[in-house]
């Protein structure tokens, strides 16, 4: 039976093909300073639609600061950010969400007092509009809206295989599951760009494998563009289409994983840390 | 133990998201409501209604109001007393200006004024957090208290400087003033409190309630998920102050009959804050439990020496009450910092998994 | 031979026909529920009928025809049950397969059955099927239920369940007469047609495809329904493998004939919660499930406060004393009745509630012997738990315990329409309307199992007691003799050991040897919890199994078994002389257990040959290397030095005195 | 109207410098007292992170104990020593009963516990000493009671109460003493270690419990001094409790952990309040003293959320 040929349409790997893809976000010559200390120096790179883009680098390389710049939490002193073809003005963090940027955090930032379900529901906040008076009444429009979004959230719960903890307060969950719930919360926003800040930090091997699978599935199933920060080089190389390497706030390499891995500057930077 | 959940399954999200998805809880609630609406009116005497039930309900409502702000949205407030006062004075002015209007409507309307003022004092909450925010609300407390004294228009230029509630009828029944029966007052207070509690339960389980809790639990994450911090906090301030305002208006209209600025002092703020903390931050049921504890306990304590056969001066009893309440507050904070609501939750969980320990 | 039940409703002799009847008679009753997306999605019989019709017509358009075999692979889902009936409506034969079996095993079954279609649960199963394309040449179309991860697959011969249904609906709306044609198509089918093919895992050799006719299943199911007074109001939880005859009869044959509701859990992780929510009225579980429940109850109660423990123990004593009597309707004193009622409020009721068995009208356990204590425990709570003895070849029912006639050591009386006899060899044989048609493509095996006049060899040795109840001793071929001539029934000994919560699995050796020796597997849940309470640190199963204190504890259990054996004249000679605790858990992935978690004795004997030698050569420990297979198919090895302990045996009859203390 | 707000007060200041100086002096004295109360807060907050609302009532309680003992025939100085003893017992009790069981709770819970303590002390104080205001035993303690008038050229005179001068002196002495205590003594250094890093402090072998008892005792002493000063100016009554809330804006200006900050903050509030009340209060009917401090702090906060001496906070995620 050769009726089944598993021809998966994989994302284009080579740079030439990638260059033809649409650029979702471009960072040009961005520098960020905290009270005289330079966190990021003159960095430029872009994120293309549909790819998994990794930002890696040793501790203190400015990776998280870079994410914070992208979603408007920090405002760079120099440089421009172009989002979907438009140069972005200085914006408030909450505006990033409405522009379609979602993120997870290095140290899980879930809403501790709420259940898994409510946490993921909170990702739908921007898409729910029924006003205070409908909320007071509940019966009718507010309830219908809630149910409509609950259905979407249940899709995500199903997708992430966290049915069993649906009604558990997130504070009681083990760390690995909290990370998964946080991913679910970001997914609930149906973002164009998903920023993942060390999604696998503090996980064991099995949890890392699960998380990698989810990240790839998100990218392929929903076509979500993903930018992720990761410490673990191995994971990044398997997952990502292109990699940016930062060291001391500067970009030292940019390109497909194999290329970056072979770069002398990168090897030095990583060895320098371990020495 | 009493919870027998086997066979209670939900085939729709509507049922799954109900306020009380467990049958036994619905039964419990029904019993409480029947007690409140039928048993107590049938059995209670005037003293019980006037000195215990009415103030208890008024305080419960105030505690719900503060709980919205502090328990659900995480913004500490020490100005509850003043916001209640705004409601009281607003209701007083409204009934003076519109003497023929339905007094219940006026009371409900008075909250709008405290909501507006609450929102104004909530503005700094965008930049100020935690204890620092307490200063903002203290400013509101002392400033508003000062207004109650210094603006004679508020109390219709009375020589006494106090507001006295005029006699008003609702559907032919005397609702306010000295002649109003405790039973009539009780039903009005109960009705308003239950109604607002129910409406708030609705808000809290929906989008807006969630956005408050998001701000409370992790404001930065909330903001990055598209929650506008100022808008959300101001709404919490407004809703909270509205409820406190209505409670304040009820306090003078259906309980005290008359009030002066000192009725709405910082002491009241603390009293309500205690109800919220001891009842449990972030729990509507806790507001009722906290109010019961802080209000009813001293009342009972006052009668204890008499029942035991001691003949003590009223003053001594009062001082002792203060001490005991203070000590009990510390005791409960040590035993369960998350309040009675948490104790109830733990007990309920135990009953649900009975006979297992977990 | 045709039973009484079939005569009364000759009309509906196939499942598609019964479906039409149910849609007509019970149209608005809920037929299926599945916990999905957080709530119990429900379908009435009318809706189920429509779903099945749409799918069936869709299948037809894909080319499925009468006589084709269609594989069903996945966890219990309404759509997979529907797929079976949809196939039957076209005259095709569904072949449910154990979804957790490794690719090799599955490939054999699918290849042997010559399946042309497969309806599977998700990507995992699709991948598995794709990987065995070479072994299963006949397979032409795969239909999956869960689209996740399959978006980028080539869809030339791959279809989503929904798309097949949509196709069917399209066709119906284009040609309205199609629905009537479809119905006419299966009206012609007969009860003697093959309804389903179930592969028995078998403790030895390759799986065999048991062909069951509609008559087999439907008559057995109707008899079962009548026996336990089941009707359309029942709720069952479908959680056992769909390829297993038990699930097929309980969740499909009986569900269709009685028109009751089948509930599918959300996932295996949530099964306890799902059972609690549904609270099935008719419940079936192998002894293992009840064992686990009891173990978990006891483990959790260990952690309860002193007062609660005391109360629990007190009322459990009361239940032990009078619970079963009350259930059996015997006379019980007023004081005991009052105490039992109090216990019902404080302990039994809540316990049943937590287990989700509050509404259970009747429950069955079968497949293996259940520990008398476990059985008694559940019955004393007031649960009408009964044993049955059955086989795939019999469409389950051979013997059943009638209400009020429950004995822990027997498996009941012959089921309605079943004839029973004991062969001269001691083997149990039966004849019934449920007896299978034959093994698929294996006439030799059919002939050796089923006599020309319809009697079937069960392969089990047993006796019929004076009260007419059947008592199973062991596998007929497993009963052996020690070198000194003493009777050796390995399973009997193993079961006695396994009744201790700390012992999960035991394998006894002794046939044609000088003495009895056993391998023991400890129960990680029970022993782990014991270790936690006693501050015993361990990093792995292996470490815990080798711990001195654990050995001590197991030694006391073995000694207890020896005392019990000493008390029975027939068995006293087969006391355990030596034992060891295995360094790894017996696992189906390593082929040590069957998919239904039965021990594969001969395989184990071969695999652990050195350990068996060590048991009999007098050494006190042995170093071994064992290959293991991980869940994802990777292989590895573990090494350990296993300690062997010597036991003192008791004189025959000596145990009686001590037991009386 | 604009003239009344923006021009007239300054004209008055210029025209009546003696009055202005008098106002400044009043503000200074009030500020010193606020600073003293704030000092009590700072001590406890620094060491344990507890915002002690009971500091106000401790002031009252200390004053009442002193006066009450004296009324019952105990000589003034002995009463003073006994009162110090009582404050010590109180500190020890608070540490044992309240602080220790509540360690690691969120700040709002600790705050509420101190309010619970306030209730208890109010009840206890009234129970023992009765609810009426009492006269401070200023003379018995040998504090000056007279006043001195300074001629101010021909533009009028400024009257300084001796007790106020004494208050200022005592405040300066206390601050100096505390400064020495923190910087020069072993316990003081330990205290600072605790404030900086609990873990580090524990690792050098300092008992947190001991330190808490000590700071509560120190706060008790500050309360006693405050009580005497305040009592000498008006009288000892529970109304003083309200004044303690003023410490909050003071702390906001000065920072919760800085002793110099408490002094500076106290003075700013003291001056601001008096000048505001006397030059602008009349425009709105007077009595703005009751809230002006908070509004000053609030406005201040809006521009510098981290306080006068705090460092700019960079939010991290």
Give how far B24 is from chain C: nearest CA, Å. 13
Contacts of D314 in chain A (CB under 8 A): 34-35
- Chains with 3+ CB–CB pairs under 8 A to B are A, C, D
Q: How many CB atoms lie within 10 A of CB D135?
A: 12
Q: Which of C37, C157, C270 sits opposite A4 (nearest CB)?
A: C157
Sorted by sequence, the CB contacts under 8 Å of residue D308 that are 6+ apart come out as: D253, D254, D255, D261, D264, D265, D300
Integer CA distances (angstroms), A90 to A74, B221, B228, C243, D49, in order:
9, 19, 16, 62, 37
Contacts of A178 in chain B (CB under 8 A): none
Write out the residues of chain A at the interface with chain D, using a CB-CB cutoff of 8 A. Answer: 34-35, 64, 68, 73, 105-106, 109
Bridge-partner residues for A227, per DSSP? A53, A195
- The reply to whether B2 falls in a domain is no
pLDDT attached to residue A5:
39
Residue D215 tokens read as 């700071």
- The tens digit of pLDDT for each residue in C389-432 reads 999 999 999 999 998 888 877 899 999 999 999 887 778 999 99
- The reply to whether B9 falls in a domain is no
Sorted by sequence, the CB contacts under 8 Å of residue A116 that are 6+ apart come out as: A157, A162, A165, A166, A167, A168, A170, A173, A181, A184
Q: Which of A105, A125, A150 sits opposite B227 (nearest CB)?
A: A125
Bridging pattern class, strands C158-160 and C194-200: unpaired
Write out the residues of chain A at the interface with chain B, using a CB-CB cutoff of 8 A. Answer: 71, 73, 92-94, 96-98, 102-103, 105, 109-114, 118, 121-123, 125-126, 128, 130, 132, 135-138, 142-143, 145-147, 150-151, 185, 189
Bridging pattern class, strands C516-522 and C576-581: parallel
Euclidean distance between CA atoms D267 and C448, whole angstroms: 107
Give how far B4 is from chain C: nearest CA, Å. 6
Q: Cis ω on the peptide bond leading into residue B355 (within 30° of 0)?
A: yes
pLDDT attached to residue D141:
78
Sorted by sequence, the CB contacts under 8 Å of residue D146 that are 6+ apart come out as: D161, D162
Residue-wise DSSP of C156-183: SSEEEHHHHHHHHHHHHHH-THHHHHHH
User: B202 at the A interface (CB within 8 A)?
Assistant: yes
Spatial contact of D120 and B327, defined as CB atoms under 8 Å apart:
yes
- The reply to whether B270 falls in a domain is yes
Percent of chain C exceeding pLDDT 70 equals: 95
Give the structural domain span for B212: 21-353
Euclidean distance between CA atoms D89 and D94, whole angstroms: 9
Q: What is the ipTM of this complex?
A: 0.83
Write out the residues of chain A at the interface with chain C, using a CB-CB cutoff of 8 A. Answer: 1-9, 117, 150-151, 154-155, 157-159, 161, 163-164, 166, 217, 220-221
Sorted by sequence, the CB contacts under 8 Å of residue D51 that are 6+ apart come out as: B131, D41, D45, D107, D110, D111, D114, D256
Integer CA distances (angstroms), B124 to B75, B85, B133, B230, D308, in order:
11, 21, 8, 9, 17
Nearest CA in chain D to A64: D317
Q: Give alpha helix (H) positions in chain B.
A: 13-16, 23-34, 40-43, 46-47, 54-66, 80-97, 103-122, 131-150, 182-205, 207-217, 219-224, 229-250, 266-279, 284-291, 297-308, 314-335, 339-353
Euclidean distance between CA atoms B170 and C32, whole angstroms: 55
Integer CA distances (angstroms), B243 to B195, B204, C191, in order:
11, 14, 71
Measured torsion, CA atoms of residues D256, D261, D263, D266, in degrees rounded to the nearest 10: -60
Spatial contact of D55 and D247, defined as CB atoms under 8 Å apart:
yes
Contacts of B330 in chain D (CB under 8 A): 97-98, 113, 116-117, 120
Euclidean distance between CA atoms B75 and B124, whole angstroms: 11
Q: Which of A102, A122, A189 sits opposite B210 (nearest CB)?
A: A122
Three-state SS for B2? coil
pLDDT attached to residue A1:
40
* Residue whose C-alpha is closest to residue B25's, from B45, B8, B50, B13: B8
Q: Which of B281, B316, B322 sits opposite D122 (nearest CB)?
A: B322
Q: Which of B127, B138, B334 sits opposite D294 (nearest CB)?
A: B138
Output the domain CATH number for residue B278: 1.10.3470
User: C33 at the B interface (CB within 8 A)?
Assistant: yes
* Residue whose C-alpha is closest to residue D126's, from D236, D215, D248: D236
Contacts of D312 in chain A (CB under 8 A): 35
User: D315 at the B interface (CB within 8 A)?
Assistant: yes
Q: Which residue is associated with the tokens 């203060």?
A: B322
Domain C16-189+231-264: top CATH class: alpha beta
- D301 and B136 within 8 Å at the Cβ level: the answer is yes
Give residue B125's region: left, alpha or beta (phi > 0; psi -120 to 50). Answer: alpha
User: D317 at the A interface (CB within 8 A)?
Assistant: yes
Q: Which residue is associated with the tokens 């078998």?
A: C202
Spatial contact of C619 and C580, defined as CB atoms under 8 Å apart:
no
pLDDT attached to residue D199:
61
Fold (topology level) of C480-659: GMP Synthetase; Chain A, domain 3 (3.30.300)
Three-state SS for A169? strand
User: D108 at the B interface (CB within 8 A)?
Assistant: yes
Three-state SS for D151? strand
Q: Which of A111, A143, A189 sits opposite B214 (nearest CB)?
A: A111
**Where are the domains positioned within chain C?**
16-189+231-264, 287-358+361-432+454-475, 480-659
Are chains D and C in contact at 3+ CB pairs closer than 8 Å?
A: no
Give how far C644 is from chain B: nearest CA, Å. 38
**Where are the domains positioned within chain D?**
27-244
pLDDT per residue of chain A (275 residues) written in tens, 0 to 9: 444 434 434 444 444 454 557 899 999 999 998 877 888 999 999 999 999 999 988 887 888 889 999 988 888 989 999 999 889 877 888 888 999 999 999 888 999 989 999 999 999 999 999 999 999 999 999 999 999 999 999 999 999 999 999 999 999 999 999 999 999 999 999 999 999 999 988 888 888 989 999 999 999 888 899 999 987 777 888 889 999 999 888 999 999 998 888 888 888 887 664 43
User: D312 at the A interface (CB within 8 A)?
Assistant: yes
- The tens digit of pLDDT for each residue in B134-186 reads 888 989 999 999 999 989 999 999 888 889 999 998 888 888 888 889 999 99
Euclidean distance between CA atoms A267 and C72, whole angstroms: 52
Residue A81 tokens read as 């950010």
Structural domain count of chain B: 1
Euclidean distance between CA atoms D48 and A234, whole angstroms: 45
- B11 and C356 within 8 Å at the Cβ level: the answer is no
Mean pLDDT of C27-53: 96
- Chains with 3+ CB–CB pairs under 8 A to A are B, C, D
Mean pLDDT of B66-73: 95
Euclidean distance between CA atoms B203 and B209, whole angstroms: 6
- The reply to whether B255 falls in a domain is yes
3-state per-residue secondary structure call for C220-279:
HHHHHHHHCCCCCCCEEECCCCCCCHHHHHHHHHHHHHHCCEEEECCCHHHHHHHHHHHC
Give how far D295 is from chain B: nearest CA, Å. 6
- The reply to whether B27 falls in a domain is yes
The better pLDDT of the pair C83, D282 is held by C83
CB contacts < 8 A (A, B): 104
Nearest CA in chain C to B358: C300
pLDDT per residue of chain D (317 residues) written in tens, 0 to 9: 778 777 888 888 778 778 888 888 888 888 888 888 888 888 888 777 788 888 888 888 998 899 888 888 888 889 999 999 999 999 899 888 888 888 778 877 888 888 889 889 988 888 888 777 888 887 777 777 778 877 766 667 778 888 888 888 888 888 888 878 877 887 777 777 766 666 665 666 667 777 888 888 988 998 898 888 888 877 777 777 777 788 888 888 887 777 888 888 888 899 988 888 888 877 877 788 888 888 888 888 888 776 666 555 556 65
Q: Which long-range contacts (CB under 8 A, 24 or more apart) does C342-345 make?
A: C342/C315, C343/C315, C343/C318, C343/C319, C344/C382, C345/B1
Q: Which of C39, C42, C301 sits opposite B356 (nearest CB)?
A: C301
Contacts of D122 in chain B (CB under 8 A): 322, 326
Give the global pTM: 0.86
CB contacts < 8 A (B, D): 131
Indicate which of D314, D315, D316, D317 best probes the interface with A, i.e. most A CBs within 10 Å of its own CB.
D317
Contact residues, D window 241-280, toward B, CB-based 8 Å cutoff:
242, 245, 248-249, 252, 256
Mean pLDDT of B128-139: 83
pLDDT attached to residue D56:
86
Give how far D316 is from chain A: nearest CA, Å. 9
User: D308 at the B interface (CB within 8 A)?
Assistant: no
* Residue whose C-alpha is closest to residue D59's, from D239, D291, D254: D239
Contacts of B226 in chain A (CB under 8 A): 94, 97-98, 125-126, 189
Nearest CA in chain B to A154: B13
Residue D166 tokens read as 């004494």
Mean pLDDT of C26-39: 95
Three-state SS for A195? strand
Nearest CA in chain B to C43: B11
User: E-strand spans in C436-552?
Assistant: 438-439, 456-464, 470-475, 480-481, 487-488, 503-509, 516-522
Contacts of C349 in chain B (CB under 8 A): 4
Q: Which of B4, B12, B358 sits opposite C353 (nearest CB)?
A: B4
Residue B15 tokens read as 């049922």
- The reply to whether B12 falls in a domain is no
- D105 and B150 within 8 Å at the Cβ level: the answer is no
Give residue D307's region: left, alpha or beta (phi > 0; psi -120 to 50). Answer: left
Bridging pattern class, strands D147-151 and D157-161: antiparallel
CA D123 to chain centre: 22
- C350 and B354 within 8 Å at the Cβ level: the answer is yes
User: E-strand spans in chain A?
Assistant: 23-34, 37-48, 52-56, 78-83, 86-87, 101-103, 193-197, 225-230, 242-247, 250-255
All domains of chain A in start order, with CATH: 21-100+191-275 (3.40.50.300), 112-190 (no CATH)
User: B138 at the D interface (CB within 8 A)?
Assistant: yes
């Amino acid at each position: 039976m050769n009726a089944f040929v598993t021809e998966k349409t994989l994302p284009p790997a080579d740079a030439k093909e990638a260059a033809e893809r649409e650029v979702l976000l471009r960072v040009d010559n961005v520098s960020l300073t905290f009270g005289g200390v330079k966190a990021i120096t003159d960095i430029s790179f872009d994120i293309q639609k549909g790819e998994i883009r990794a930002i890696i680098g040793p501790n203190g390389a400015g990776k998280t600061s870079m994410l914070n710049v992208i979603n408007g939490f920090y405002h760079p002193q120099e440089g421009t950010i172009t989002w979907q073809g438009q140069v972005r003005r200085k914006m408030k963090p909450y505006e990033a969400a409405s522009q379609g940027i979602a993120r997870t955090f290095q140290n899980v930032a879930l809403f501790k007092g709420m259940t898994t379900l409510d946490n993921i529901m909170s990702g739908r906040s921007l898409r729910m509009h029924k006003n205070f008076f409908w909320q007071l009444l509940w019966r009718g429009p507010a309830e219908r809206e809630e149910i409509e979004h609950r259905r979407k959230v249940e899709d995500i719960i199903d997708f992430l295989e966290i049915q069993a903890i649906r009604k558990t307060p997130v504070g009681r969950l083990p760390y690995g599951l909290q990370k998964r719930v946080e991913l679910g919360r970001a997914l609930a926003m149906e973002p164009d760009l998903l920023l993942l800040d060390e999604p696998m930090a503090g996980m064991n091997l099995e949890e890392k494998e699960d998380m990698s699978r989810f990240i790839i599935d998100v990218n392929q199933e929903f076509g979500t563009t993903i930018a992720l920060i990761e410490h673990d080089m191995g994971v990044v190389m398997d997952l990502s289409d292109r990699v940016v390497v930062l060291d001391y706030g500067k970009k030292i390499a940019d390109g497909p994983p194999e290329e970056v891995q072979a770069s002398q500057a990168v090897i030095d930077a990583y060895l320098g840390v371990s020495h | 133990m009493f919870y027998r959940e086997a066979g209670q399954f939900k085939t729709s999200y509507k049922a799954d998201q109900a306020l009380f998805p467990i049958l036994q809880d619905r039964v419990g609630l029904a019993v409480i409501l029947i007690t409140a609406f039928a048993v107590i009116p049938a059995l209670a005497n005037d003293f019980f209604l006037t000195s215990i039930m009415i103030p208890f309900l008024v305080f419960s409502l105030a505690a719900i109001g503060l709980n919205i702000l502090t328990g659900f949205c995480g913004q500490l407030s020490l100005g509850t007393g003043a916001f209640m006062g705004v409601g009281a004075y607003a209701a007083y002015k409204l009934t003076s200006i519109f003497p023929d209007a339905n007094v219940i409507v006026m009371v409900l309307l008075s909250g709008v004024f405290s909501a507006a003022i609450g929102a104004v004092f909530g503005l700094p909450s965008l930049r100020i957090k935690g204890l620092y925010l307490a200063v903002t609300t203290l400013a509101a407390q002392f400033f508003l208290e000062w207004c109650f004294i210094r603006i004679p228009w508020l109390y219709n230029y009375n020589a006494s400087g106090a507001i006295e509630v005029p006699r008003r009828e609702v559907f032919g029944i005397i609702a306010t003033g000295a002649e109003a029966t405790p039973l009539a007052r009780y039903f009005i207070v109960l009705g308003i409190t239950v109604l607002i509690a129910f409406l708030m339960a609705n808000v809290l389980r929906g989008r807006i309630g969630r956005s408050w809790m998001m701000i409370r639990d992790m404001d930065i994450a909330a903001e990055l998920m598209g929650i506008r911090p100022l808008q959300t906090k101001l709404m919490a301030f407004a809703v909270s102050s509205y409820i406190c305002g209505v409670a304040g208006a009820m306090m003078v209209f259906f309980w005290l009959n008359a009030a002066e600025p000192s009725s709405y002092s910082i002491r009241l703020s603390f009293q309500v804050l205690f109800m919220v903390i001891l009842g449990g931050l972030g729990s509507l049921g806790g507001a009722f439990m906290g109010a019961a504890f802080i209000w009813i306990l001293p009342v009972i304590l006052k009668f204890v020496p008499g029942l035991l056969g001691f003949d003590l001066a009223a003053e001594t009893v009062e001082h002792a009450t203060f001490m005991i309440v203070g000590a009990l507050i510390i005791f409960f904070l040590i035993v369960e910092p998350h309040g009675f609501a948490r104790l109830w939750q733990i007990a309920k969980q135990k009953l649900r998994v009975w006979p297992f320990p977990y | 031979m045709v039973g009484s039940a079939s005569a009364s409703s000759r009309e509906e002799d196939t499942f598609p026909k019964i479906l039409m009847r149910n849609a007509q008679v019970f149209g608005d009753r809920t037929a299926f529920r599945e916990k999905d997306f957080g709530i119990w999605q429900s379908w009435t019989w009318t809706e189920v009928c429509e779903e099945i019709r749409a799918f069936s017509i869709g299948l037809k358009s894909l080319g499925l025809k009468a006589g084709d075999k269609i594989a069903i692979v996945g966890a219990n889902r309404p759509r997979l049950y529907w797929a079976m009936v949809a196939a039957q409506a076209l005259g095709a034969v569904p072949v449910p397969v154990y979804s957790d079996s490794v690719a090799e095993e599955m490939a054999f079954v699918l290849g042997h059955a010559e399946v042309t279609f497969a309806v599977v649960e998700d990507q995992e199963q699709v991948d598995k099927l794709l990987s065995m394309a070479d072994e299963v040449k006949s397979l032409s179309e795969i239909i999956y239920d869960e689209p996740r991860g399959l978006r980028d697959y080539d869809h030339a011969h791959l279809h989503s369940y929904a798309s097949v249904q949509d196709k069917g609906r399209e066709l119906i709306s284009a040609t309205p007469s199609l629905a009537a044609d479809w119905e006419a198509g299966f009206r012609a089918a007969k009860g003697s047609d093959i309804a389903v093919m179930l592969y028995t895992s078998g403790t030895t050799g390759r799986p065999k495809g048991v062909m069951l006719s509609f008559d087999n299943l439907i008559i057995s199911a109707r008899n079962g329904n009548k026996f336990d007074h089941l009707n359309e109001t029942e709720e069952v939880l479908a959680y056992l493998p769909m390829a297993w005859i038990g699930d097929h009869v309980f969740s499909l044959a009986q569900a269709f004939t009685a028109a009751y509701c089948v509930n599918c859990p959300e996932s295996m992780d949530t099964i306890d919660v799902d059972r609690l929510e549904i609270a099935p009225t008719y419940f079936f579980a192998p002894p293992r499930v009840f064992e686990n429940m009891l173990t978990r109850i006891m483990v959790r109660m260990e952690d309860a406060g002193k007062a609660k423990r005391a109360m629990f123990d007190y009322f459990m004593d009361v239940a032990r004393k009078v619970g079963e009597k009350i259930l059996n309707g015997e006379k019980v004193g007023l004081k005991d009745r009052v105490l039992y009622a109090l216990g019902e409020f404080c302990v039994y009721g809540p316990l049943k509630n937590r287990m989700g068995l509050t509404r259970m009208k009747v429950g069955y356990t079968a497949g293996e012997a259940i520990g008398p204590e476990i059985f008694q425990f559940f019955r004393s709570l007031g649960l009408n738990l009964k044993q049955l003895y059955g086989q795939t070849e019999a469409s389950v029912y051979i013997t059943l315990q009638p209400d009020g006639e429950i004995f822990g050591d027997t498996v009941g009386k012959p089921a309605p329409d079943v004839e029973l006899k004991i062969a001269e060899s001691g083997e149990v044989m039966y004849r019934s309307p449920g007896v299978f048609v034959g093994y698929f493509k294996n006439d030799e095996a059919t002939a050796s199992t089923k006599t020309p006049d319809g009697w079937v060899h069960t392969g089990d040795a047993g006796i019929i007691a004076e009260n007419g109840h059947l008592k199973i001793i062991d596998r007929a071929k497993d009963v052996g003799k020690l070198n000194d001539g003493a009777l050796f029934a390995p399973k009997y000994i193993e079961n006695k050991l396994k009744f201790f919560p700390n012992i999960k699995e035991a394998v006894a050796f002794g046939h044609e040897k000088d003495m009895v020796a056993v391998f023991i597997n400890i129960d990680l849940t029970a022993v782990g919890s014991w270790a936690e309470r006693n501050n015993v640190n361990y990093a792995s199963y292996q470490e815990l199994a080798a711990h001195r204190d654990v050995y001590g504890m197991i030694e006391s259990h073995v000694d207890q078994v020896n005392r019990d054996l000493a008390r029975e004249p027939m068995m006293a000679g087969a006391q355990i002389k030596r034992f060891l605790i295995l360094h790894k858990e017996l696992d189906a992935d390593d082929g040590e257990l069957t998919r239904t978690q039965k021990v594969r004795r001969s395989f184990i004997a071969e695999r652990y040959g050195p350990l068996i030698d060590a048991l009999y050569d007098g050494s006190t420990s042995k170093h071994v290397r064992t290959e293991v297979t991980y869940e994802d198919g990777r292989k590895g090895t573990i090494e350990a030095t296993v300690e062997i302990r010597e036991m003192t045996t008791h004189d025959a009859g000596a145990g009686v005195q001590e037991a009386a203390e | 109207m604009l003239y009344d707000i923006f021009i007239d007060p300054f004209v008055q200041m210029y025209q009546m410098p003696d009055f202005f100086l008098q106002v400044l002096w009043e503000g200074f004295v009030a500020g010193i007292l606020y600073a003293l109360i704030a000092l009590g807060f700072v001590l406890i907050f620094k060491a344990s992170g507890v915002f002690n609302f009971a500091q106000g009532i401790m002031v009252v309680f200390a004053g009442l104990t002193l006066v009450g003992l004296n009324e019952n025939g105990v000589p003034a100085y002995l009463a003073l020593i006994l009162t110090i003893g009582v404050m010590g017992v109180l500190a020890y009790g608070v540490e044992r009963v309240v602080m220790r069981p509540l360690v690691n709770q969120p700040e709002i819970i600790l705050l509420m516990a101190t309010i619970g303590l306030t209730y208890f002390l109010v009840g206890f104080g009234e129970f023992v000493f009765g609810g009426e205001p009492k006269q401070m035993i200023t003379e018995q303690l040998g504090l000056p009671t007279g006043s001195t008038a300074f001629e101010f050229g021909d533009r009028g005179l400024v009257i300084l109460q001796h007790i106020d001068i004494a208050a200022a002196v005592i405040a300066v002495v206390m601050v100096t003493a505390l400064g020495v205590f923190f910087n020069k003594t072993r316990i003081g250094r330990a205290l600072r270690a605790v404030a900086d890093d609990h873990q580090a402090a524990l690792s050098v072998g300092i008992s947190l419990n001991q330190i808490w008892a000590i700071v509560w005792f120190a706060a008790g002493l500050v309360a006693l001094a405050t009580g005497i000063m305040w009592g000498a100016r008006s009288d000892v009554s529970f109304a003083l409790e309200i004044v303690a809330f003023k410490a909050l804006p003071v702390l906001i200006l000065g920072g919760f952990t800085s002793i110099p900050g408490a002094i500076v903050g106290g003075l700013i509030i003291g001056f601001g309040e008096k000048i505001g009340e006397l030059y602008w209060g009349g425009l709105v009917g007077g009595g703005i003293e009751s809230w002006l401090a908070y509004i000053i702090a609030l406005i201040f906060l809006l521009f510098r959320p981290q306080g006068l001496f705090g460092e700019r906070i960079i939010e991290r995620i």
